[in-house]
Structure 1
């Protein structure tokens, strides 16, 4: 008997939740989605019932007509409400459109909360901050809140706030006061990740009480002080550029849980760094970038596995006793480095990966003092027994890059 071969649309036979996942993972724009929807009624149903509604006013490199954007978002949300569909994520992005009325966003957020949305993302126009509606403060099912160019306007003494399930809070260019942020943290008992990027309105950041907080990122916020009391903190990242005034950083808890410490542009002294590293003995990943007051770094740790040093202009000496160090990244100006060797006591024999980047602002390598080559060769010899090394030298004018992935024995 001959075997019958059926040539049909097997993809359309997949379960609805798998098709939803395909549609979500492929990051389709509106035109591509429209093409898919004409494949069959099933695909059309899957597209209109998808649990992840992501809308961007910019499609590719072009602005979608505002009227079309408003209609698309409004119809999609109202259709979900009418059919009582599950809504996992609502993401709204609208850039620099002067005719955009924020009342539309108020309505969409209210509709999303009727559907118990779990992930809410609002990326507002940089031309005008979006004032968050009061309905957002009673989002008892929300797990993730990502905001850009928004502002919190609520009275901490009268506004009822309830973030019973909130785990992730990301604020970028969001205006919020010290007291407002602390109130949100107090009303978010399960918050795990908190990220603040360029948030005006806060002078003294105090994060106190969140027992589940694991990751805290503070970037470009120009705070006077950062005081953290979180017993299960695992990662702390502080990034500041061209700080006008020093920021006092004090982590009062998490002594045994902190694993990752990133300090970029922090005005921290040698003694302050020693105190911090002594207080957190389980740090496994350390990143120091442009900490210009650091001159002598002393590290003694059996837990440290990754160490990064970038643009430490005042650095004179690095003393490292880390027998389990596996990764080392270093970046410096070629001329400055040629005048000294801050790693005279370093033992890199345990390293599995090293990357050394040197930048030359001179017009070409020939204009650099010839001592740079001698000192560089001496420095690279330290990695003779490490398993792998990437050496990169960047010259500005020629725009040439000497990029040599190697086992050191190849160039000895």
Structure 2
């Protein structure tokens, strides 16, 4: 900027003079600024270095953390990998074991697999086993046991235009055709029919003919129909030289023909029409027959069985009109006869001293007839008399007899038993007419005395009946050193006595007693006591030091935890654990129940033993609203 009134030359000189005068101050000022700038630069460098160092540290730390995380992840992966490998190895081992077990089953001989398949009654069910393995499929196609049961056959879903009967016939035709195309023999052919007419009869004749032509060994024809419409059994079967077993139901054997069954061992006729001439013709032509059973057959009045060396067992049940049976068989071991109500049948045994098991249900048999029969069998080991209503006073004496059953002989007034080697005894009746002449060395016994209906369930408090005193005497004669347990059932209550020497029997009608060896385990004992009889109370009489009540309590508690002991869905096959809804221990001193049963239990002296009581509420009692305690 120029000054006014001064020339430019003069101004330049003045400016030069000012710069010269001001130069030292400017220089100092500039130095300070430069120093400040340098300091700032140094500080920035230092801060940058520090930031760089911290950044490096943080980067290093981050890298370390990442490395640690990576190592941890790697370790986890390794661990998981090992676990997976281990699990895979386990699965592999399990699979190998399953495959190995499957291979072991598949390596069974054909004969054993055939036997397993033969136990499956329905052929369709047996066919499903072909999915198990190629081996089972091959064996199934060669199965020589063919069983067709119309009761279990169901038409496949989606099939239209054909009835269930038509589908069943087609299934049999296809199975037989497939079998014969492979040139496979037929060991067993069994047929169960629920519908029968002329058309079915024609088909049956063809099926039976094919089976007979292919060297069949066992044949079973069962027609499950009512009325008089019976199947006319074809003649061709009576000429089979390979047949070993023949089972017929609702068949007619009227045609007289030549019978040649040289290998037949078993003959079962049920609901068949046959007279003595035809049955005689069949039996006499079967020299190897071992087992003969006639059940509810008609047309027979006289059954004569000639001398057959192989005959081991004969059963005759409810054959209408039969008046006489004559058997001559030196090796006969078992004879079982059940007679009709209104007919009397005379039993004649010739040379049958080898008989070991005799079961008689004959409402017309007298004391003398029984005596003559019994003393003709010196080797008899088992005797079962059921519903022999004409028996009044009998004597049973034998050193060989091991099992004796007296059941439902209502008019029996006295039975003198002289059997020192008897091991098992069973009795069912209203009184106790029997008496043992020898010390009782039984291993087991079952007694059912008096009716068990609710109307007759009452206590004999004032006076004990005679049968009750006899029962006490019988139990007192047992060999207590054998260590028995006694199970008593009455109405809806069960008592288990651990020691028979201290008995407190409830004086009531309808008692069912079972004497069991002490070697029987707790679980088996409960199964036998509760399986078919679902009580509301279970009481245990035992010594004070016994652990038995505790074991029973544990078993009852275990039974409530969703038992897996039986897998069948059918209610009849389920065990008592599934039937019981809950079970709990009851304090007899505190219970307020006024029932006669609980009152009797509370009145029993407990000086020498303890009484442990359990309340068992099962599904049946719960369904009808019945409870053991109020």
Structure 1 pair 40–315 and aligned structure 2 pair: CA distance change class (3 A): closer
Tell me by how many angstroms 1:12 deviates. Answer: 3.9
Cα distance between partner residues in 2 of 1:26 and 1:310: 35
- Deviation string for 1:81-129 (max 9, x for gaps)? 2322132211100113558611111111111112211111111132431
Tell me by how many angstroms 1:315 deviates. Answer: 0.7
Cα distance between partner residues in 2 of 1:60 and 1:66: 9
Structure 1 pair 368–207 and aligned structure 2 pair: CA distance change class (3 A): farther
1:372-383 equivalences under 5 Å are 375-383=467-475
Q: Do the aligned residues in 2 keep the contact of 1:89 with 1:118 (CA within 8 Å)?
A: yes
- Deviation string for 1:32-89 (max 9, x for gaps)? 4454334554433322211111110122799992222212222222333232213221
2:222 paired with 1:129: no
Structure 1 pair 218–18 and aligned structure 2 pair: CA distance change class (3 A): closer
Structure 1 pair 136–26 and aligned structure 2 pair: CA distance change class (3 A): closer
* Partner residue, 2:365: 268
User: RCO greater where, 1 or 2, for CA within 8 Å and sep 6 or more?
Assistant: 1
Tell me by how many angstroms 1:312 deviates. Answer: 0.9
1:88-237 equivalences under 5 Å are 88-97=187-196, 101-127=200-226, 128-155=229-256, 159-222=257-320, 223-237=322-336
* Partner residue, 1:282: 379
Tell me the TM-score normalized by structure 1.
0.86
Tell me the TM-score normalized by structure 2.
0.58
**Bigger CA drift: 225-234 or 175-184?**
225-234
Tell me by how many angstroms 1:372 deviates. Answer: 5.8
* Partner residue, 1:240: 339
**Bigger CA drift: 12-21 or 272-281?**
12-21
Cα distance between partner residues in 2 of 1:201 and 1:392: 46
Structure 1 pair 271–328 and aligned structure 2 pair: CA distance change class (3 A): same
2:402 paired with 1:301: no
The gaps in structure 1 that reach 5 residues or longer are none
Tell me by how many angstroms 1:16 deviates. Answer: 3.3
Q: Do the aligned residues in 1 keep the contact of 2:123 with 2:146 (CA within 8 Å)?
A: no
Of 317, 322, 328, the residue aligned with 2:414 is 317
Normalized per residue, the structure richer in strand is 1
* Partner residue, 1:54: 147
How many matched pairs? 394
Cα distance between partner residues in 2 of 1:175 and 1:368: 53
Give 3-state SS (helix, strand or coil) of 1:360's partner.
coil
* Partner residue, 2:525: none
Tell me by how many angstroms 1:364 deviates. Answer: 4.0
Q: Do the aligned residues in 2 keep the contact of 1:172 with 1:197 (CA within 8 Å)?
A: yes
Q: Do the aligned residues in 2 keep the contact of 1:81 with 1:114 (CA within 8 Å)?
A: no
**Bigger CA drift: 47-56 or 371-380?**
371-380
- Deviation string for 1:312-358 (max 9, x for gaps)? 1111111111110110000012xxx1xxx422444452111100012
**Greater Cα radius of gyration, structure 1 or 2:** 2
Normalized per residue, the structure richer in helix is 2
Of 480, 483, 500, the residue aligned with 1:408 is 500
Tell me by how many angstroms 1:203 deviates. Answer: 1.1
Cα distance between partner residues in 1 of 2:151 and 2:497: 40
Tell me by how many angstroms 1:272 deviates. Answer: 1.7
Q: Do the aligned residues in 2 keep the contact of 1:354 with 1:389 (CA within 8 Å)?
A: no
